[in-house]
């Protein structure tokens, strides 16, 4: 039955996401995914051709969810560039307070698979980061930034670095610092007024 099928597949994807986010791809076995989803491994391989395909599926779902997340965080902000950046980094900081927070799953998987540029999960990470940057550039442009693409790229670097160092040091102060830096960069980037 179609409904049953979709349900099982979603269960597998959810289980895989939880495990992949915590442990990365290499250290998670398909057996573990199956066990967490409450099905047998053979069922997993009925729905997915390979472990890599599961990873690809997980990241596709996450990409959609995260774009909604960003839109929800910043979509309603009505001020200028500074207000957008403040809102963005505040939300990032709040997100990082969650007890199960382990940084950006996309970045961590890209780091894990650094030597495999063609891996589906690497490609998904690249597409995701590119989409976020483009979305941010548009938001910043609408808010009156002078060189929105350039500013968006610098802000992306700050987000990426803040997540990485907050994780390494288990210190959210890096996100605060990145927020300050983002506003400094925007200030230099903006016609004085």
Partner DNA sequence: GTTCGTCGTCTCACTGGTGAGTATACTTTA
Partner DNA sequence: TAAAGTATACTCACCAGTGAGACGACGAAC
> Between residues 1 and 78, which has the closer beta carbon with respect to DNA?
1
CA atoms within 13 A on the CB side of 63: 20
SS3 36: helix
CA distance 178 to 174: 6
Partner whose footprint covers residue 24, from its own copies, DNA, none (CB < 5 to 8 Å by kind): its own copies
Q: Does 119 interact with its own copies (rule: CB under 8 A)?
A: no
The residue length of the chain stands at 193
Which among 119, 187, 130 is positioned nearest to 160, based on CA atoms?
Answer: 130
Considering beta carbons, is residue 24 or 148 the nearer one to its own copies?
24
What residues contact residue 107 under an 8 Å CB cut-off, 6+ apart?
A: 125, 129, 160, 163, 164
Site of interaction with DNA (CB under 7 A): 1-2, 4-5, 7-8, 28-32, 39-43, 45-47, 50-52
Quick note: the x/- pattern for its own copies over 48-87, rule CB under 8 A, is ----------------------------------------
The item of DNA, its own copies, none sharing an interface with residue 93, based on CB under 5 to 8 Å by kind, is none
Take residue 89 and report the two structure tokens written for it: 């980094």
- Torsion, Cα of 54, 55, 61, 66 (10° steps): 170
Judged by the rule CB under 8 A, the positions of this chain that interact with its own copies are 22-24, 26-27, 102-103, 106-108, 110-112, 114-115, 117, 122, 125-126, 129-130, 150, 153-154, 156-162, 164-165, 167-170, 173-174, 177-178, 180-181, 184-185, 187-189
């Amino acid at each position: 039955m179609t409904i049953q099928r979709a349900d099982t597949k979603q269960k597998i994807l959810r289980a895989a996401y939880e495990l992949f986010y915590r442990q990365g791809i290499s250290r998670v076995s398909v057996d573990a995914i199956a066990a967490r989803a409450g099905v047998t491994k053979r069922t997993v391989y009925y729905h997915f051709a390979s472990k890599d395909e599961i990873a690809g599926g997980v990241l596709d779902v996450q990409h959609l969810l995260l774009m909604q997340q960003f839109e929800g965080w910043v979509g309603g902000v009505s001020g200028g560039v500074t207000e957008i950046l403040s809102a963005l980094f505040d939300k990032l900081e709040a997100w990082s307070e969650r007890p199960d927070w382990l940084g950006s799953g996309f970045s961590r998987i890209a780091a894990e698979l650094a030597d495999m540029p063609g891996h589906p999960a690497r490609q998904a990470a690249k597409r995701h980061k590119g989409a976020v940057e483009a979305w941010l550039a548009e938001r910043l442009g609408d808010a009156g930034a002078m060189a929105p693409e350039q500013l968006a790229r610098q802000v992306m670097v700050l987000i990426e670095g803040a997540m990485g160092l907050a994780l390494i040091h288990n210190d959210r102060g890096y996100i605060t610092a990145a927020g300050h830096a983002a506003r400094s960069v925007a200030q230099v980037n903006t016609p004085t007024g």
